[in-house]
Chain A
Amino acid sequence: MSKRIQVGIVVGILILAILGTIFINNKKVNSGEVSIYKDGELIKSIDLNSVKDEQEIKIVDQNEFNTIKITKSGVKVIEASCHDKVCIKTGEIHDSLLPIACLPNNLIIKVEGVKHDEFDTKTY
């Protein structure tokens, strides 16, 4: 093996390693917007592309609650006060095919097309 080939292999591997690192840090598994509806009212929307780290959201209504976990890849309910736990059993959703519904707590979670919103929140 000539020295030039050896150097080539080493440089090649290093480039692959750097590209791999960039890829892992920036991978976008999914796109779309998570919309959370409570009692029919949209209370929160999150653009999946803007999710850098996993987020937990707890929705409380008197003694009832659902805890929702949002990651880059999708959304799921991880804790709930309801008796049937259908919302937890639905698992993680990634697209608009199936919403997560918690009928006892009147909560619906959907992944919908992205509506680009430049604001962090709204006053009304």
Chain B
Amino acid sequence: MFKKKILTIGMIIILSLGLISCAEMNNSKNIKEEGKSYEMSEKILGTIVSGAAYGKNSKEALEKAFKRANDIEDMMSVNIEDSELSKVNREAFNKNVKLSDDLYYVIDNALYYANLTKGAFDPTIGHAIDAWGIGTDHAKIPEKSIIDKYKGLENYKNINLIQNTKEIRFLDENIKLDLGAIGKGYVGDEMRRVLKEEGIKSALLNLGGNVVTLGKKTNGEKWSIGIRNPKNDNDISAALKASDEVVVTSGNYERYFIKDGIRYHHILDPKTAYPARNGLISSTIITKNGIDADALSTATYILGPEKSKKLIESLAGVEAYFIKDNMESVETNGLNEKGFRVK
């Protein structure tokens, strides 16, 4: 009788220990499958691109997404001599040059935004960008003659893009295409597309401040995104929630140099060929796709607060948050639906 009781208690102990080890096994299984995540950071397009993907295939998917980003950089960088864009810039004056589908798509979108913003965004001002050299070790204020040569050209009107043959021709010799204000947006879109194709349902990408979200966090919440205070690197001005959306900011603090107490930043106004000074120091755009957000954040920065608010409110599915040089802010109407709050 006594033995039987000992046996019963013994079995209960064994069962209980089993319960504990089962819990532990279950935990390690989660690590291998559902809970799996992978992160990567890489220097691409002159900035640090970081990505975190969640789910079974996260490592392979993220590596493919980064490979795609590198391939687009090789195609669209003006700093790579044998990139497709460099070839176009060398050859397209008065001659039709055939474009890849990727480059055609990005140039087509760039020209769309140039027309929409009446040239506030203009991808043809590459020579003016080179003359300033902002962000390089030879940044300087160009000679007046150079500024006069490149300001107000409105050369986005002098590009012939042929839809049927996917060819391009420059009609003005002063055109140099620079896709720096839109390319990063496209790279983010393509990285997200690759991740989706690989079956990833939750991912967060940050391309030097361009935030791209895929799905929601693994706990089902939307991604929480802070918007940098333009006057303090370690501070947040506002925050919002996003899912399957992008959040892109253009600011005067990204790349600049200071001469005689004046800050010369990298966002050039095509009308003046000088860094834009129209009342904004930071412009954040929230929408579905990075290519739109990237072009619009640059364009709105250049247009200034009043024109930009009107422009963004005329576009469906786009919201914006602007910070003026006196640190006052301007918000579009639909921003509150994005969990927006000022800190």
**Do A60 and B42 form a contact, CB below 8 Å, given A119-B236, A121-B211?**
yes
**Residues of A that sit less than 8 Å from B by CB:** 1, 6, 9-10, 13-14, 16-18, 20-21, 24-25, 36, 38, 41, 43-44, 52-62, 118-124
Cβ-defined partner of B211 (8 Å) among A44, A62, A123: A123
Binding site secondary structure of chain A: mixed
B5: A residues at CB distance < 8 A: 1, 6
B17: A residues at CB distance < 8 A: 17
| B228–A123 touching, CB < 8 Å | yes
Cβ-defined partner of B9 (8 Å) among A9, A54, A55: A9
| A120–B9 touching, CB < 8 Å | no
Cβ-defined partner of A59 (8 Å) among B13, B42, B59: B42
**Does any Cβ of A come within 8 Å of B204's Cβ?**
yes
**Does any Cβ of A come within 8 Å of B38's Cβ?**
yes
| B19–A44 touching, CB < 8 Å | no
| A57–B39 touching, CB < 8 Å | yes
**Do A120 and B204 form a contact, CB below 8 Å, given A24-B24, A43-B41, A54-B31?**
yes
What CA separation (Å) do A55 and B188 show in the bound complex?
22
**Does any Cβ of A come within 8 Å of B43's Cβ?**
yes
What CA separation (Å) do A62 and B193 show in the bound complex?
23
Minimum C-beta distance from A3 to chain B (A): 10
B126: A residues at CB distance < 8 A: none
What CA separation (Å) do A90 and B227 show in the bound complex?
36
**Does any Cβ of A come within 8 Å of B133's Cβ?**
no
Q: List 13 A-B contacts (CB under 8 A).
A: A21-B19, A25-B23, A53-B30, A56-B38, A57-B38, A59-B42, A60-B40, A120-B224, A123-B210, A123-B227, A123-B247, A124-B209, A124-B254
**Residues of B that sit less than 8 Å from A by CB:** 2, 5, 8-9, 12-13, 16-17, 19-20, 23-24, 27, 30-31, 35-43, 48, 50, 59, 63, 66, 204, 206, 209-211, 217, 223-228, 236, 239, 247-249, 251, 253-254, 284
Minimum C-beta distance from B144 to chain A (A): 33
What CA separation (Å) do A58 and B48 show in the bound complex?
13
What CA separation (Å) do A118 and B226 show in the bound complex?
9
Cβ-defined partner of B41 (8 Å) among A10, A59, A123, A124: A59
A123: B residues at CB distance < 8 A: 209-211, 225-228, 247-249, 284
Cβ-defined partner of B48 (8 Å) among A41, A57, A122: A41
| B209–A38 touching, CB < 8 Å | no
B284: A residues at CB distance < 8 A: 123
What CA separation (Å) do A53 and B27 show in the bound complex?
9
CB-based nearest B residue for A71: B31
**Do A120 and B225 form a contact, CB below 8 Å, given A44-B50, A61-B42?**
yes
**Do A17 and B228 form a contact, CB below 8 Å, given A24-B27, A121-B204?**
no
| A121–B226 touching, CB < 8 Å | yes
A38: B residues at CB distance < 8 A: 41, 48
| A53–B36 touching, CB < 8 Å | yes
**Do A17 and B16 form a contact, CB below 8 Å, given A123-B225, A123-B228?**
yes
B225: A residues at CB distance < 8 A: 119-123
Minimum C-beta distance from A81 to chain B (A): 13
What CA separation (Å) do A120 and B225 show in the bound complex?
6
What CA separation (Å) do A54 and B29 show in the bound complex?
12
| A57–B40 touching, CB < 8 Å | yes
B228: A residues at CB distance < 8 A: 122-124
Cβ-defined partner of A44 (8 Å) among B2, B39, B42: B39
| B20–A17 touching, CB < 8 Å | yes
| B48–A119 touching, CB < 8 Å | no
| B23–A122 touching, CB < 8 Å | no
| A53–B40 touching, CB < 8 Å | no
| B251–A44 touching, CB < 8 Å | no
| A24–B40 touching, CB < 8 Å | no
Give the top 10 A-B pairs by smallest Cβ distance, nearest first. Answer: A17-B16, A53-B35, A124-B228, A124-B209, A60-B42, A119-B226, A57-B39, A21-B23, A53-B31, A123-B249
